[in-house]
């Protein structure tokens, strides 16, 4: 799933993740809106690409989903540019720069 600038993506009832995910981050990044249950049902990768010239700093947080993602520990977060992320998807649908 790749979400482009200023779009909202809605998933109805249930979103089970069995795939690799790719998000592009910017100060106003998109959020996937899920009505119902959001669950990661397998292992996979979340690839993060930053957009823009402003460097990220520790504590920068980006919300990817509008609710917590159950079983988030099965996802590996990959990044371009050597940014290290902490996975907070199960806490509130976000990731944060370490």
Per domain, the residue ranges of the chain are: 2-97
pLDDT in tens, the chain (98 residues): 444 444 444 433 344 455 566 677 776 777 888 777 787 777 777 888 777 777 888 998 888 888 898 888 878 888 877 889 898 989 888 989 99
- Backbone phi, psi, residue 10, to 5°: -110, 135
The answer to whether the beta carbons of residues 9 and 1 sit under 8 Å apart is yes
Q: What is the pLDDT of residue 18?
A: 52
Q: What is the pLDDT of residue 21?
A: 67
Q: What is the pLDDT of residue 74?
A: 79
Q: What is the pLDDT of residue 9?
A: 45
How much is the pTM?
0.72
């Amino acid at each position: 799933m790749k979400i482009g600038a200023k779009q909202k993506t809605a998933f109805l009832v249930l979103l089970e993740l069995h795939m690799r995910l790719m998000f592009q981050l910017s100060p106003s990044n998109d959020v996937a809106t899920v009505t119902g249950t959001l669950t990661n049902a397998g292992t996979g990768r979340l690839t993060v690409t930053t957009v823009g010239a402003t460097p990220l700093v520790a504590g920068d947080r980006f919300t990817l989903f509008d609710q917590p993602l159950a079983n988030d520990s099965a996802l590996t977060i990959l990044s371009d540019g050597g940014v290290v992320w902490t996975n907070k998807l199960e806490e509130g649908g976000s990731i944060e720069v370490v």
